[in-house]
Amino acid sequence: MSFTVYQVTIPPLVRMLNNLAVILNKAAAHCEAQGIDPQALLRFRLFPDMFHFTKQVQVACDHAKNAAARLAGVEGPAFGNDEQSFADLVQRVRKTIAWLESLRPEQFEGAQQRDVVIRRGESVVTYRGDDYLLNRALPNFYFHVTTAYDILRHNGVPLGKRDYLGTA
C-alpha cells in the first residue's frame, strides 16, 4: 500500500486542527463555568523556557500551513500573532484549515523529492521533501498541538485522549 504526500499531510493536519478547535472551545467553556480568567490559561507555560499556550497554538498552525506550502511548492499565507482569546485562536485554526483544504493533491506531486529550504537568519538548511515531512514538519506540528493539550490538562480542563485524537 502506498500513500501520497498529500494523503500523509493534509487530512492528518486538518483532523488534528479540527480537534484542536474543539479543545479550544472546551477550554473557553471551562473558564466560563469555573470563573477562571481565560488569560491565566492563554499565558500559561509548562516551563519558563517554553512557549505559552497561545504561542503553542499559533506555532502549530504555522507548522501546518508552512509544511503544506513548502511541500506543495506554493507560498503560504502569513498570519499575525495577535490572538487574545480562545475565540481568536479558534478563528486562526479555522483559517489554517480553510487554507489547507484549498490545496489539491496534484500540487503535491513530486514533493517527496522536492528540495525544502528553511532559512533562519544566516542559517539555511535543505531537506528532501519526504525527510522534511516525516522528520521535521509532522513531529513539530504534533509537538505543539500536544503541548497545548498538556497545558490545558495540567490546568484542570476536563479533556481526555478522545479529545486529542477526535472521534472519527
Return the C-alpha cell found at 56: 503553542
| Residue 75 pLDDT | 94
Quick: pLDDT tens for 92-106. 999 999 999 999 999
Instruction: Tell me the average pLDDT of the chain.
Output: 96
Q: What is the mean pLDDT of residues 79-87?
A: 96
Query: Which residue range(s) make up the domain with 21?
Result: 5-165
Other CB atoms within a 10 A radius of the CB of residue 77 amount to: 12
Quick: pLDDT tens for 104-146. 999 999 999 999 999 889 999 999 999 999 999 999 999 999 9
CB 96 within 8 A of CB 65: yes
* Euclidean distance between the first and the last CA atom of the chain, given in angstroms as a whole number: 22
When pLDDT is averaged across residues 68-88 and rounded to a whole number, the result is: 96
Quick check: 48 and 65 in contact, CB under 8 A? no
Residue 168 has pLDDT above 80, yes or no: no
| Closest-CA residue to 148 (of 13, 12, 15, 27) | 27
Supply the pLDDT for residue 167: 80
Domain count, the chain: 1
Task: Find the CATH number of the domain harbouring 125.
Answer: 1.20.120.450
Whole-number percent of the chain with pLDDT over 70: 99
Confidence of residue 76 (pLDDT cuts 50, 70, 90): very high
- Output 167 or 164, whichever has higher pLDDT: 164
